[in-house]
Amino acid sequence: MARLIQHLYLIPMLVCVVLSLKAFRLRWPPAFRIFSVLLFTALLTEIIANAWHYYLHNINGWTYSDNNAWIYTISLVPQYVLFMLVYYHELHSKNIKKAIIGACCLFTLFTIFNFCFWQKPDMINSYTHILADCIMLLLVFAYFEQLRREKTQVRLKEQPMVWISLGVLAFHLLNIPFLLSINYLNINFKIVATTFLYVYLSFIFMCYVLYSKAFLCQTPRLK
């Protein structure tokens, strides 16, 4: 039962991936097609990580650790580079666009360095996650500031990027305190760590519900 609850977030993730195909079918702007590719990458990561944890770590007579943290860490580079490119296409400021390209390079290099030399591959690379959280929160704030400055009035609930940004905001705001504490809690307070994990998974569930809502909006216009 506990295993089933821990994987409930895969339901809205799968729904979201299917809905995101609309971005290609109706030729939505590039940002949303990139986001669809990101969602497929995230789903593929979940499939591989769970397959490794339950089956692939013990194949052909070779037994490895069932720890799949390294799979999630490796997937951070393609996922967050794609995520930053989504905002690269949605934000208008040339300076912010240049900063996004720089952030992509910095994040990639830091992730590799942290994985190889700083934090261990078999643990949650919290420093990398926190850097990603900070970058994404800054991009979300930049997007909402851009909306605030726009002269033309728009209905926010009809803007797919608003729903995506709300999902990013909800998830990454919780992700920072979760990552700062989870390794310590796992060592010293297992019960608290388990409770915190369920809260975290509920936010992932909500995050994908918000992403799904984005693809239920009408086709956005190219800007």
Which pTM value belongs to this model?
Answer: 0.91
pLDDT of residue 223: 61
Domain of residue 114 covers 2-48+67-214
Instruction: Kindly report, residue by residue over 112-147, the tens digit of the pLDDT.
Output: 999 998 888 888 888 999 999 999 999 999 999 999
Pair 207, 171: CB distance under 8 Å: yes
Residues of the chain with pLDDT under 70: 1-4, 60-61, 183, 222-223
Looking at the 3D structure of the chain, how many domains does it have? 1
Domain for residue 89, yes or no?
yes
pLDDT of residue 219: 86
pLDDT of residue 58: 79
Domain for residue 131, yes or no?
yes
Domain for residue 93, yes or no?
yes
175: CB partners within 8 A, 6+ apart: 129, 130, 133, 200
Domain for residue 209, yes or no?
yes
* Residue 35 exposed, middle or buried by CB count within 10 Å (0-12, 13-18, 19+): buried
What six digits make up the tokens of 212? 């799904």
Domain for residue 219, yes or no?
no
Domain for residue 220, yes or no?
no
